[in-house]
Structure 1
Amino acid sequence: MSSTNPFKDQSSSSLTKKLLRCILYALLPLALIRLYFYPLTPSLSPTNQFPHTKPPIITTTATATTFTSPSPPSSKEHHSSNTETPCDYSNGKWVPDKFGPLYNGTSCGTIKDGQNCMSHGRPDQDYLYWSWEPKDCKISRFDPKIFLHFLRNKHLAFVGDSMARNQLESLLCMLSTASKPELVYNLGDDNKFRRWHFKSHNVNVSIYWSPFLVKGIEKTEIANYNRLFLDSVDERWASDLDKMDMVVLSVGHWFLHPAVYFYGESVLGCHYCVGQNYTEVGFYDVFGKAFKTTLETIMERRGGGGGGGGGGGSDSDSDSGKGIDVVVTTFSPHHFEGEWDKLGACPKTQPFKEGEKQLEGMDAEMRKAEVGEVEAAKEKAKKFSRIRLSALDVTKLSLMRPDGHPGPYMYANPFANGIAERVQNDCVHWCLPGAIDTWNEILLDVMKRWDNQSRWSGGR
């Protein structure tokens, strides 16, 4: 009868253990090298809790209610952005999206009445179920918690005209599905200067009315033309630059109005200045000059120190070490097909198909001026380590959405008493919710790319 040798088994077991230890010792240096060159990054899942990264910048005693609104799975593929191959957001198509918007016309209290198409009885709802699909990249469905995470303890300012307000109110509604904003500041007619605070992440979001970005005097009944001073920024917003961490600039349509243009003590000319003894110069070059002055002023005031220590204002600025992100939302086309007070002013209920509508004429020229100034500013900003700039290129994708405007539904139930002979239409601004929500999805995508770039470069 055979017997088991206990010493033989013990020797085999000991040899196995030694072999495992050798393998572990060999793998440990490889793992350390892997972590050094490819550090792990925290997941930005909506369920994660993010710690505060720096002391709060605002103190408030008001109570803000925070709630979570679970988002359905997205038809858009989640992706990790690659900053070395930036996304061309202008090149793509609108595709059906069965999930629709994150909010509705009654769930958000910040929608301007004129853009609340759902509550005003717009009968069709197909305009709510489209998403923009760029050809060369993917845009994830908007995640409010990720957006708020990127802005924790920061101040985001929208500066511009009513299109800036339209985008701001879209963003507030999207963010409110995760955290309720509290209105903490309100000044001016038509709510032109407002600020909200998200207590959950200590985030401030503001709107500054400035339809030219530069110093301007708006037209009156006495002088039916605007006066623009192209060498000076509008201090109604620029005086707060030291308090801003991110600024979104959005203007355009006010430059189409009659105006006289000044540069220092000189008059450059005018646009559509009937009865004025000035040279007609149009507004495309003036539009570009306004952005040039604006972007250069931001760099001058927030680029102090340059090199490795830039991003601040003057030496006396207590926040001289923090950077600023600058986004220019490009021109948003209108879709008037008839008279503004007739039923068929913007009658379409579907997006244009790919290739059906070309970007040309005024829309193309306005976009060209903005993108050109952003690219020029990027070159100048290379000497500053803490200034980032990007064009939020929404002109083409907005051009393809003639169905996204309020039309006659800028007022509640405009046809309750039958079809009126004349009814005011809005074919410039965008329904909320609606196509303009895509602008903020792209804004978040830009922020992700910046964050990805910072991780690899070791910047902020």
Structure 2
Amino acid sequence: MGTITSPFKDPSHHSLARKLLPYTIYVILPIAVLRLYLYTPSLPQSTDQLPHSTAITISTTSSSSSSPSSLPPFPSSQEVETGEETPCDYTSGNWVQDKLGPLYNGTTCATIKKGQNCITHGRPDLGYLFWRWKPKQCHIPRFEPNTFLQILRNKHIAFVGDSMARNQLESLLCMLATVSPPNLVYTDGEENKFRRWHFSSHNVSVSVYWSPFLVKGIEKSQDGPNYNKLYLDQVNERWAADMGQMDMIVLSVGHWFLHPAVYFEGDSVLGCHYCPGLNHSEIGFYDVLRKAIKTTLKAIIERRVANANGNGVNVIVTTFSPAHFEGEWDKAGACAKTKPYMEGEKQLEGMDAEMRQLEVEEVEAAKANGKKFAGFRLQALDVTKLSLMRPDGHPGPYMNPFPFADRVQERVQNDCVHWCLPGPIDTWNEIMLEVLNKWNNQGR
């Protein structure tokens, strides 16, 4: 398939302070994130190693079941987007205690990545499981797996991005598995970065595509240069080649843009981020992330929507998920909080706010550009603020099995980027289902 090309506009003239956001963030956090993405701990061979103090019982049945025949099919390209926004502002609210807990647990869901299986890895405090996000003006229903599967009946949903996309995908798989078992039908790539599951009960396919920049990128390696290469005018064909098979696309990136990188448009170098020793201009990563999202959404509209041949496509862009490192990332206590922040206790600001804002802006711009195409629906899944308020939801030292089993260690690696499963990330999929319900009702 051909390459999508688009001229790269000059970056916005940010203030010097904005271009040079504290290099402690630029240097320490990228190293930490990269380390976490590439590290794969081992699991105990048996759940028998789970201590009695961490054994819990969580309901694996949803609160209410919808009859598959009671819902209309997924909207087609003939159904016109009304332009109405989600009636509830899901970004403004508070975390409230919830006695029901999650739909699944870490010992019953087989698709959880090892590093996020906090219960099986011996996390002793389980209070983080019993919170629900409560928007100020509405209520988010408990996730209904049957409803989700019915809306996606005979469809293919693809999660495209970095390990946060994978984290959200695995949360969804666990919740859907409470009513229908997923069958792994395809796996490929290092650490199985390209996988597909099939829910035979509804003929639903769920895939994950590793693409941490969305656009074409060459990741740094031990044998090569110590920086990534990004080609900002070309979408990554490793996932885009399958775009025609996707009925719904969930995009999620962010953290990998903090890593050292050199940026290209075609064969021309545009600049770099944290590349001492190279004769390139430092341009940071904000405008680069913006361009990558712009190129990706433009490619979806031109290659998937304009040539839909009667089949529409629905796109979700999950906004930036903040990390919660406290102090040095590789020491114990890096994210030791056991309760959420309350409203007003933690402000959305700095890098987290900037990353979220540019993603929302690009989504709105692409929605305007795609209005002329029937069957194209696009929404930002704005989870940045509600995720910022959950410092307690990360694996922390329990990215590894029983890190304190022998003795209290001086240095224990922590994961304060990804989310425990089950955990706060389940809320992302609850909100996504609400978006699908809205689209489904518009289709009626």
Taking structure 2 as the reference length, the TM-score comes to 0.82
Considering only CA atoms, is the larger Rg found in Structure 1 or Structure 2? 1
Q: Which residue of 1 aligns with 2:252?
A: 250
Q: Which residue of 2 aligns with 1:229?
A: 231
Amino acid at match of 2:288: V
**Separation (CA, whole Å) in 1 of partners of 2:321 and 2:133:** 15
Whether the 8 Å contact between 1:83 and 1:449 is mirrored in structure 2 is no
Q: Which residue of 2 aligns with 1:93?
A: 94
Amino acid at match of 1:322: N
When residues 219 and 168 of structure 1 are mapped into structure 2, their CA distance, relative to the original with a 3 A threshold, is same
| Residue 315 (structure 2) pairs with residue 326 (structure 1) | yes
Whether the 8 Å contact between 1:83 and 1:450 is mirrored in structure 2 is no
Whether the 8 Å contact between 2:65 and 2:144 is mirrored in structure 1 is yes
Q: Which residue of 2 aligns with 1:151?
A: 152
**Separation (CA, whole Å) in 2 of partners of 1:85 and 1:239:** 31
Whether the 8 Å contact between 1:83 and 1:452 is mirrored in structure 2 is no
**Separation (CA, whole Å) in 2 of partners of 1:52 and 1:99:** 26
Q: Which residue of 2 aligns with 1:107?
A: 108
Q: Map 1:426-441 to 2 at 5 A.
A: 426-441=415-430
When residues 243 and 52 of structure 1 are mapped into structure 2, their CA distance, relative to the original with a 3 A threshold, is farther
**Separation (CA, whole Å) in 2 of partners of 1:209 and 1:119:** 26
Q: 2:305 aligns with which of 303, 306, 320?
A: 303
Q: Which residue of 2 aligns with 1:265?
A: 267
Amino acid at match of 1:385: A
| Residue 69 (structure 2) pairs with residue 50 (structure 1) | yes
Q: Map 1:131-280 to 2 at 5 A.
A: 131-221=132-222, 222-280=224-282
When residues 205 and 85 of structure 1 are mapped into structure 2, their CA distance, relative to the original with a 3 A threshold, is closer
Amino acid at match of 1:242: G
Give the number of the structure with larger relative contact order, counting CA–CA contacts within 8 Å between residues 6 or more apart: 2
Task: Report the alpha carbon displacement of residue 47 of structure 1 after superposing the two structures with TM.
Answer: 5.1
**Separation (CA, whole Å) in 2 of partners of 1:95 and 1:53:** 33
Amino acid at match of 2:284: G
**Separation (CA, whole Å) in 2 of partners of 1:219 and 1:48:** 49
Whether the 8 Å contact between 1:231 and 1:293 is mirrored in structure 2 is yes
Amino acid at match of 1:253: H
Q: Which residue of 2 aligns with 1:409?
A: 398
Task: Report the alpha carbon displacement of residue 353 of structure 1 after superposing the two structures with TM.
Answer: 0.6
Task: Report the alpha carbon displacement of residue 372 of structure 1 after superposing the two structures with TM.
Answer: 0.5
Amino acid at match of 2:173: L
RMSD: 1.6
Per-residue CA deviations over 1:344-384 (Å, capped at 9, x if unaligned) read 10010000010000000000010011000000000001100
Task: Report the alpha carbon displacement of residue 52 of structure 1 after superposing the two structures with TM.
Answer: 11
| Residue 376 (structure 2) pairs with residue 376 (structure 1) | no
Task: Report the alpha carbon displacement of residue 343 of structure 1 after superposing the two structures with TM.
Answer: 1.2
Whether the 8 Å contact between 1:331 and 1:366 is mirrored in structure 2 is yes
Task: Report the alpha carbon displacement of residue 95 of structure 1 after superposing the two structures with TM.
Answer: 0.6
**Separation (CA, whole Å) in 1 of partners of 2:165 and 2:310:** 28
Amino acid at match of 1:373: E
**Separation (CA, whole Å) in 2 of partners of 1:403 and 1:138:** 23
Q: Which residue of 2 aligns with 1:29?
A: none
Unaligned runs of 5+ in 1: 1-43, 55-81, 305-311, 314-319, 456-460
**Separation (CA, whole Å) in 1 of partners of 2:227 and 2:433:** 37
Q: Map 1:324-403 to 2 at 5 A.
A: 324-403=313-392
Amino acid at match of 2:438: R
**Separation (CA, whole Å) in 2 of partners of 1:135 and 1:264:** 47
Whether the 8 Å contact between 2:317 and 2:363 is mirrored in structure 1 is yes
Amino acid at match of 2:146: K
**Separation (CA, whole Å) in 1 of partners of 2:108 and 2:374:** 41
Task: Report the alpha carbon displacement of residue 413 of structure 1 after superposing the two structures with TM.
Answer: 0.8
Per-residue CA deviations over 1:164-216 (Å, capped at 9, x if unaligned) read 00000000000000000000000011110000000000000000000000000
Amino acid at match of 1:265: D
When residues 84 and 208 of structure 1 are mapped into structure 2, their CA distance, relative to the original with a 3 A threshold, is closer
Whether the 8 Å contact between 2:314 and 2:378 is mirrored in structure 1 is yes
Task: Report the alpha carbon displacement of residue 83 of structure 1 after superposing the two structures with TM.
Answer: 4.8
Q: Find the residue that maps to 2:104 and give its secondary structure.
A: coil
Amino acid at match of 1:212: F
Whether the 8 Å contact between 1:52 and 1:152 is mirrored in structure 2 is no
Q: Find the residue that maps to 1:301 and give its secondary structure.
A: helix
Taking structure 1 as the reference length, the TM-score comes to 0.79
**Separation (CA, whole Å) in 2 of partners of 1:387 and 1:84:** 14
Whether the 8 Å contact between 1:227 and 1:259 is mirrored in structure 2 is yes
**Separation (CA, whole Å) in 2 of partners of 1:448 and 1:85:** 10
**Separation (CA, whole Å) in 1 of partners of 2:71 and 2:342:** 45
Q: Find the residue that maps to 2:370 and give its secondary structure.
A: helix
Q: Find the residue that maps to 1:170 and give its secondary structure.
A: helix
Identical-pair percentage: 70
Whether the 8 Å contact between 2:96 and 2:131 is mirrored in structure 1 is yes
Per-residue CA deviations over 1:268-319 (Å, capped at 9, x if unaligned) read 1000011110000000000000000000000001222xxxxxxx34xxxxxx
Q: Find the residue that maps to 1:274 and give its secondary structure.
A: coil
| Residue 413 (structure 2) pairs with residue 424 (structure 1) | yes
Q: Which of 334-343 and 286-295 deviates more? A: 334-343
**Separation (CA, whole Å) in 1 of partners of 2:285 and 2:167:** 23
Per-residue CA deviations over 1:121-153 (Å, capped at 9, x if unaligned) read 100001000010111222110000000000000
Whether the 8 Å contact between 1:83 and 1:453 is mirrored in structure 2 is no
Task: Report the alpha carbon displacement of residue 338 of structure 1 after superposing the two structures with TM.
Answer: 1.8
**Separation (CA, whole Å) in 1 of partners of 2:346 and 2:237:** 39
Q: Find the residue that maps to 1:389 and give its secondary structure.
A: strand
When residues 87 and 185 of structure 1 are mapped into structure 2, their CA distance, relative to the original with a 3 A threshold, is same
Amino acid at match of 2:324: H
**Separation (CA, whole Å) in 2 of partners of 1:184 and 1:436:** 25
